[in-house]
Amino acid sequence: MKATEPSQAGRRGPYAKSADRRRTIVTAAHAVFAARGYRSGSLQEVADRVGMSQTSLLHYFPTKRELLLAVLTWRDSISGDGAVLPDPEESLVDAVIRQARFNEDIPGVIELYTVLCAESVTDDHPGRQFFIDRFARLRISYAEAFMRMAQEGRLRPGVDPQRAAASLIALWDGIQTQWLFAPDSIDMAGSLRDYLRLIILPE
């Protein structure tokens, strides 16, 4: 709130405007990378959406790679980091279902994630490390949640928390992909609910 935070202080010099500009660029890039992927999405198309020249865009993000990383981190910053591990008021099952339902309203975000994640498995992709870290972090978060449940005797006997964590994430990603191809045939929340009810015992 102090003067040292120009981005939060109204229209103060060039900083606030610059931060605004960066945000609109990231939003436009989000749409372009979702529709075309990183390699085939062009800076020109991003610039067109923002209404500036391609060279002006490079004033804010000096390379295409930096723009991608800005899009990825921004995506996580607005929708959590992907881990749905909430306040103790809500059960894990409810939180996952709620997030899955919410995701149905933001197909563009799902598409970006699906497209960039798969593209990142290829060599030399600038998003590769981002997704490696993300998956590792997510697996640990869910595994910890499942281990706490196991200690309380709420996990079905025989279920391995580590494998279950990887499986939950895999199921979620995979069902999102199928949903993008056939939204009317796929019940994302239903599949996730079914799985969690299978591995978690009723209280």
Partner DNA sequence: GTCTATAACTGGATAGAC
Partner DNA sequence: GTCTATCCAGTTATAGAC
* Contacted entry of a copy of itself, DNA, none for residue 44, CB cut-off 5 to 8 Å set by kind: DNA
Count CA atoms closer than 13 A to 100's CA, side-chain side: 27
* Contacted entry of DNA, a copy of itself, none for residue 132, CB cut-off 5 to 8 Å set by kind: a copy of itself
Judged by CB under 8 A, the stretch of 6-14, 82-90, 96-104, 182-190 that binds a copy of itself is 182-190
If one asks whether residue 141 binds a copy of itself (CB under 8 A), the answer comes out as: no
Place of tokens 């606030």: 16
Instruction: Find all residues with CB under 8 Å of 179, minimum gap 6, and list them.
Output: 104, 110, 186, 188
* Longest Cα–Cα distance in the chain: 61
Applying CB under 8 A, among 61, 131, 142, 146 the residue interacting with a copy of itself is 131
Evaluated on CA atoms 8, 14, 19, 25, the torsion sign reads positive
Judged by CB under 8 A, the stretch of 12-20, 55-63, 97-105, 107-115 that binds a copy of itself is 107-115
CB of 15 to DNA, least distance (A): 7
If one asks whether residue 10 binds DNA (CB under 7 A), the answer comes out as: no
Count CA atoms closer than 13 A to 107's CA, side-chain side: 8
3-state secondary structure of 148: helix
CB of 7 to a copy of itself, least distance (A): 33
* Contacted entry of DNA, a copy of itself, none for residue 43, CB cut-off 5 to 8 Å set by kind: DNA
Residue 51 is given by DSSP the state T
If one asks whether residue 173 binds a copy of itself (CB under 8 A), the answer comes out as: yes
Count CA atoms closer than 13 A to 45's CA, side-chain side: 14
| Total residues in contact with DNA, by rule CB under 7 A | 22
- Residues forming contacts to DNA in the complex (CB under 7 A) are 14-15, 17-18, 21, 41-45, 52-56, 58-60, 62-65
